[in-house]
Chain A
Amino acid sequence: MNVWRYGDNINTDMLFPGKYTYTCSTREEIKPHLLEDLDSTFSKNVKEGDIIFAGKNFGCGSSREQPVVGLKAVGIRAVVAESFARIFYRAAINQGLLLIECPQAVEAYSKGDDIELIADTGKIIVGGKPFSFPKLPKEIIAIRDAGGLLAYTRSKLKKR
């Protein structure tokens, strides 16, 4: 597992350039352009189970969902940040991408630290130091447990 470390205000153009927004929407179309203008090594080297550590306001900017769909598609297990922008946060719930808002864990991380993530109990261990993060409200867990928002909506429609 690799950890990718980025700073504050990682915006949606850095995560997925706007020029592709209306021509790339499938997972395979998105993947090669992920983080293209921020870190050209990312899309080549990212592996299933990798984690991103970032600073404040991760995902700020546009409502485009390609950043979230793409990070999920390449197998990012979680994004741990000091804080997230709200549209990105909602999009992550809707796609089932785990976001962990935990400034202490971000501060504690140094290159090479082992990371252990126990999502169910809201715990992350960074270089031997444990940190807890708040559990999601029940309404949101229901969406996640259904397998994302569209699966949740489909099951609701069937019950009508």
Chain B
Amino acid sequence: MSMTFVEKLLSNYAGEKNVVPGQIVTVHPDHLLTHDNTAAIIKKIEPELKKYGVFSKSLPIIVLDHVIPAASEKTSTNHKVIREFVKTHNIENFFDVGIGVCHQVVIEKGLGLPGKLLLGSDSHTCSYGAVGAFSSGIDRTEAASLMLTGETWLKVPDSIKIMLNGILKFGVYAKDVVLHIVGDISASGANYCSVEYHGDIDQFSIADRFTIANMGIEMGAKNSVFFVDAVTEIFLDSIGVSSSSYNPIFPDRDASYLQELEYDLSEIVPMIACPHTVDNVKPVAEISGLEIQQCLIGTCTNGRLSDLKVVADILKGKQVNSNVRLLILPASKDILEKALKAGIIETLIKSGGVLLPPGCGPCLGAHQGILAPGERCLSTANRNFKGRMGCKDAEIYLASPATVAASAIYGKIIDPREVMK
């Protein structure tokens, strides 16, 4: 029987010869990701943790990233409770304040690997499809249950095959591709589905694939996946993971899909998601000239070294507009160190950028760059929901790092190709 990626992977984990969409299977994930919400999760199961302990000390990956450094006594107490839990239960994979955004850390530390199954109490857990893993988001209660039993149920999803054909033009990036797709199929266009990317994929680095997989949830997907190729192998080798330590999964050629979509990459232009939904997408040129007060470069969507480099190349020798605050948020300590060595951070700071510690920063509106009523922010993050950055009367636009950098110079939204040519 021919199978898609997700059918093969879930049949492996369910110990069945084959599975079909709609079937419910019991699985034991390789890892369970939690972050600052670990405090609330373990509070639900205090007596059970005392009695039974955690299912396994290698199952959890805990990363402090959402409100770091702590913004209040309440959040610092949460962090303290989590550190004590980690010590008591000898949790193997713990990353304290400053190491990075959880999803970036999972990939950098080689915890998300091809053919593996990871669940996490964060909706952007779907990012690890960038390296050929199955990964998906769950709620806190399910994370608590997994912490104790190591198992849960999953419904085998239908699959959508997306063909990306052709080569991207100058000034157009992976972020523009994924915004284009979300705009085309809508915020619910891939609901409950596994999204597979096929076609001319070798032009996309792991960082690019990360950006696209990360935003799978913004089209409703259960998971998104790119298949292992030379780009994946070289990346994994660079972080010390040899190809003998993972088993990539590929879909069968004649697997059956709920839907097959094709995009000509050479036709995609710089795109922007306008308030207040991620699928309200337009070409940047259509809203050119709109004034902005804050720009954000970073987050799990676009805070990688290649993103910071694009921004530095655009800002070099120029100044951020005096009406704009430009916030720089590297996705991890490792990225920050590399950007420092390459002189990228110096360029960004000299141009007027404000450096934030590696973490989620203002993306979710808890601290570090909350917007004021009437303000407009242009961000490289993944969500522009009303109120997302802490103020319901502010507007958030989402675009590529190049679009955000070019617009920061002018204080107005601008197609980056105007500046880069």
Contact = CB atoms under 8 A, between A and B. Distances in A.
Contact of A18 (B52, B78, B279, B364): B364
B141 A23 contact: no
B41 to A, nearest CB: 10
Interface stretch (A46-54, A88-96, A103-111, A114-122): A88-96
Contacts of A91: 139, 141-142
Interface residues of A, number: 41
Given A83-B188, A150-B45, A61 B385 contact: yes
B365 A57 contact: no
A132 interface: no
A157 B387 contact: no
A17 interface: yes
A66 to B, nearest CB: 9
B298 to A, nearest CB: 17
Contacts of B125: 63
A18 B72 contact: no
Contacts of B188: 9, 56-57, 60, 83, 85
B7 to A, nearest CB: 17
Interface in B41-72: 43-45, 48, 52, 66-67, 72
A30 B123 CA distance: 20
Contacts of B43: 25
Contacts of A60: 187-188, 220
Given A22-B66, A137-B24, A57 B137 contact: no
A80 to B, nearest CB: 16
A157 B37 contact: no
Interface string A57-68: 100111111001
B366 A19 contact: yes
Interface residues of B, number: 52
A62 B392 CA distance: 17
Contacts of A62: 123, 364, 383
A149 B365 contact: no
B191 interface: yes
A63 B387 contact: no
Interface string B101-137: 0000000000000000000111101000000000001
A86 interface: yes
A57 B149 contact: no
B74 A19 contact: no
Interface of B: 24, 36-37, 40, 43-45, 48, 52, 66-67, 72, 74-75, 78, 120-123, 125, 137-142, 144-145, 148-149, 153, 155, 187-188, 191-192, 217, 220, 222, 277, 279, 364-366, 370, 383, 385-388, 390, 392
7 contacts: A18-B364, A21-B37, A83-B188, A86-B220, A95-B141, A149-B145, A153-B149
